[in-house]
Structure 1
Amino acid sequence: MNADYLELSDVRVTFDGFVAVDGVTMTVPRGDLRFLIGPNGAGKTTLVDAITGLAPATGSALFGRTELLGRKVHRIVRLGIGRTFQTATVFENLTVLQNLDIAAGAGRGPLTLLRRRSSVPAEVEEALETVGLVDVRDKPAGVLPHGQKQWLEIGMLIVQNARVLLLDEPVAGMSAQERADTGELLRRIGAERTVVVVEHDMDFMRCFADSVTVLHAGKVLSEGTVAQVQADPRVQEVYLGTAAEVGA
Structure 2
Amino acid sequence: MTLYVRQLVKHFGGVQAVKGVSFEVNPGECVALIGPNGAGKSTTFACIAGQHGLTQGEVRWAGQRVDRLRPAQRQKLGVARTFQVAQTFEALTVLQNLQLLMTAPRGLRAWNVLERAEVDAALARLEQVGLRDLAQADAKDLPYGAKKRLELAIALAGLPAQGPRLLLLDEPAAGLAAPERAELMARVTALAREGVAVLYTEHNMDAVFGVADRVLVLIDGLLAASGTPQEVALDATVRSRYLGRGFQAGDVHV
> Which interval holds the TM-score relative to the shorter structure?
over 0.9
Contact 1:202 1:246 in 2 (8 A): no
Contact 1:29 1:194 in 2 (8 A): yes
Q: In the aligned structure 1, how far is the partner of 2:111 from the partner of 2:223? A: 44
Distance 1:118 1:53, change over 3 A: closer
Q: In the aligned structure 2, how far is the partner of 1:77 from the partner of 1:126? A: 20
Contact 1:9 1:24 in 2 (8 A): yes
| Aligned partner (choices 77, 83, 86) of residue 85 of structure 1 | 83
Q: In the aligned structure 2, how far is the partner of 1:171 from the partner of 1:114? A: 36
Q: In the aligned structure 2, how far is the partner of 1:227 from the partner of 1:207? A: 9
Q: In the aligned structure 1, how far is the partner of 2:239 from the partner of 2:217? A: 11
- Aligned-residue offset at 1:153: 0.8
Distance 1:223 1:10, change over 3 A: same
Residue 51 of structure 1 corresponds to: 48
Residue 61 of structure 2 corresponds to: 63
Q: In the aligned structure 1, how far is the partner of 2:104 from the partner of 2:37? A: 34
Question: Are 1:221 and 2:224 counterparts?
Answer: yes
Letter in 1 for 2:227: G
Q: Secondary structure at the match of 1:71?
A: coil
Distance 1:197 1:105, change over 3 A: same
Number of equivalent positions: 244
Q: Which one is further off, 81-90 or 157-166?
A: 157-166
Residue 154 of structure 1 corresponds to: 152
Residue 201 of structure 1 corresponds to: 204
Question: Are 1:186 and 2:211 counterparts?
Answer: no
Q: Secondary structure at the match of 2:109?
A: helix
Q: Secondary structure at the match of 1:22?
A: strand
The equivalences for 1:89-238 within 5 A come to 89-111=87-109, 114-118=112-116, 120-161=118-159, 163-191=165-193, 192-238=195-241
- Aligned-residue offset at 1:88: 0.8
Question: Are 1:12 and 2:9 counterparts?
Answer: yes
Letter in 1 for 2:191: I
Stretches of structure 2 lacking an aligned partner (at least 5 in a row): none
Stretches of structure 1 lacking an aligned partner (at least 5 in a row): none
Q: In the aligned structure 2, how far is the partner of 1:159 from the partner of 1:75? A: 15
Q: In the aligned structure 2, how far is the partner of 1:229 from the partner of 1:63? A: 26
Letter in 1 for 2:45: V
- Aligned-residue offset at 1:106: 2.8
Contact 1:102 1:113 in 2 (8 A): no
Contact 1:10 1:60 in 2 (8 A): yes
- Aligned-residue offset at 1:215: 0.6
Q: How large is the RMSD of aligned CA atoms in angstroms?
A: 1.7
Identity over aligned pairs, percent: 35
